[in-house]
A and B are shown apart, each in its own frame.
Chain A
């Protein structure tokens, strides 16, 4: 048995780490939006998908993946800001109306992509290609680069939140909206910014994953559900919790997917979240969602 189980476990571990870090980046955006704005953004997966699609457009038009990596979060962040101004602000961020509005946004974005980009799954060539030989199997070097890039971006995001004025505004608004307002934090703009940055983070994760996964207009749903899983297990609004939970869920998902079946892994994850929320009404660490 060890002869066959060993490589499987190693592969599961590798897939798990790569998946976990990209997931952490996606979920960080969702968690930021919930933490600052107290809203559940159902369109988050659509932002992830848009990031991948924009990356395909930019890199096939210019041949530069790096340019696409910059353009995707900026474009998607911009769309998110516009959505915030045109829709969410007008309904006063009322929790349930916001959920309905972001479901609407999800379908509008997804279907517009279907109209223009089409129903295809299209690949983008990895900017770097090499394989690492593990003896039993070769592993895509780009996947490891993705993991490293995601880890780097997570650290950068954490630094930006803890060391910059913008980060201070975000954290202050998250703590107490009214007090932040009293201290001249422009809460309206902070909301737009949080929604934009949240969307941008999802888009960045989507962009990073395109060379591995291909861009498809329906790829957002899985990203959304897994992000929910992570953000809830990690505790809503808790960024550290989000990253820890992403690693746990990503590794578990990788392991169960490789050893059993991806569908079973998702059934387990979704049931787990349902049960955790049902019992505690909140995540494992973090605050009440009500």
Chain B
């Protein structure tokens, strides 16, 4: 990695926008994520956060603008190709294979990364796969329930499984969409530790409503309201920003209308 690569942001959106019929969900957003940072994306409900990460992960096609990843224009790539480049998304509403075992859930993710050449597919290394699955489950503390059907796990464990699947892909950019939603206090602490560990090797974009979690994890915060970015900066600055306070109190903000 030369000096130039270090300067290029890992992810950049340029004037990205998405319109659903008459509704403009995201308008002209320029977002830049540096390598290795943990960025929180906050804003009131309906601000366009999930739509924005949908555009980044490729689940949605933008109406305007471009997405660049590691300096490469990925706007026209589908979701699967972006995952292969390292943009990994975890769903806001837990999305796992409920009828498969916990181990099989992770195995689907692990094998995608392991089996790159045709030869790997024809003579798969089952032992190596099983070892990696076990390791991935160990990281999130689910090794003990590997043989259970995923749908039978308690909710908090399903969230952890979802994160284990994401980690198994070894993401360069991990997008977490409200990971602490519905978790108990102890589970939230465990999740925060996990995200800090992940951040040692990857860039993290975190959509989160729990401000304690945001302040603990994020180096910078981006605030969205009505489809636009209204503020960006370190946590202290954002907390003091009057416009952000207005947006959260639900008063009409200066930039809109």
A and B touching (C-beta < 8 Å)? no
